[in-house]
Amino acid sequence: MKTIEFIIGSLEVGGAERHLSQVLPALKNMGFLIKVHVLSDKAPLKPIFDNACIEVYLGPNLDWVPLTFLRRPISLFISLTRLILNFLKNRKAIRHVFLPEAYLLTAVAARLTFFSGPLIMSRRSLNDYQQRRPILGTLERLMHRFTTAALGNSKAVVQQLYGEGFTLSNTSLIYNGIDLWPFQNLLTKQGLRDSLNINQDALVFIIVANLIPYKGHLDLLNALGKIHSQLPKSWKLLCVGNDNGILSQLKEHSQMLGINNHVEFLGKRSDTPQLLAAADIGILCSHEEGFSNAILEGMAAGLPMVVTNVGGNAEAVEDMQTGLVVKAQDPESLGSALLSMALAPELRTRFGQAGKERIAQHFTLQQCTQNYADFYESLL
């Protein structure tokens, strides 16, 4: 069988991890032998792979190490050792690495074992992290020369890969794809609002993004603070996503702006498709992005999207066709776009329907998986 070994730092509920949890079972059904090597023991998504009968090899639990500051270097050493042993054990399988730290360790292990087989790296975001961690960025660029191919999930990411030394011949673009099944056979918007206790007359904005500074929640609150007096009295913002430490700040800020009664922080939810389909306008106002599934899911739910012009956002959302694309970190522009959407129900309907059609044509899980399969076949 055609063996592909995927390497990633964890199986937490993040964008890359969720992407693999959807793509890998589909690839297995297409005849590939899939193995997943996780450098840590953090794997809440592991049951999905278990159900698909995909082997997952977890890193060790280091909670027993009494000195916390020692856990990190010990973890890196163990991860590198495991990767070296893996390369020595199987010198033919394709290795496909996701996320920067895993890529760097894997590339080093490949060099130490003189591995000459296919080594692929997937870049899932813009390389802004290299500015924050310049040593990591420098080492990454050094290892690119030993990497068979690089994959980006947006044109913006691919352009950066070219700037780091990859070429047209060893760089490919594979867009994310989503499973449309959760967005089919949903209740009507009225039925969904009843089930979710949302006022039928409310104008509902929704953002699906973990509460991380670069996702731009503060920009969004400031934008709504500027326009809330012009919005219908019954408006609501639903914020779906885990708190990464800024929830209290956001709550205080919304209260200061006088909009706290309109803003709900829902945390992590398992009914995101229903929430999206019950809303009127989808938002992603991040400062940096690779290619966001949250945008695709909003469009699949029939929402007109207001997004910032970073990463692949403008590749998913066609400005003035399926939504509005605005400058990042600019609450004034964001507020203006949200207000124009809020006051134009017919435009929202047209954009939402066009977005739904665009997803079905270009960004389905089936298309994404087939693109991966074709790519691996070309290497084999």
Q: Which domains does the chain have, with CATH numbers?
A: 2-177+365-379 (3.40.50.2000), 181-362 (3.40.50.2000)
pLDDT the model gives residue 1: 62
CA–CA dist 209, 223 (Å, integer): 17
Interacting residues of 241 by C-beta distance below 8 A, sequence separation 6+:
207, 208, 209, 210, 211, 215, 267, 268
Length of the chain: 380
Q: What is the pLDDT of residues 337-358, one digit of tens each?
A: 999 999 999 999 999 999 999 9
H/E segment holding residue 304: none
Whether the CB-CB separation of 55 and 77 falls below 8 Å is answered with: no
Q: What is the pLDDT of residues 261-306, one digit of tens each?
A: 999 999 989 899 999 999 999 999 999 999 999 999 999 999 999 9
CA–CA dist 91, 86 (Å, integer): 8
H/E segment holding residue 69: helix 68-89
CA–CA dist 172, 153 (Å, integer): 9
pLDDT the model gives residue 73: 94
**Please, what is the Cα angle at 19 between 249 and 352, to 5 degrees?**
70
CA–CA dist 231, 249 (Å, integer): 24
pLDDT the model gives residue 379: 87
The pair of three-digit structure tokens given for residue 188, joined into one six-digit string: 């009507």
DSSP state of 243: B
Give Cα 41 distance to the centre of its chain: 21
pLDDT less than 50: residues of the chain: none
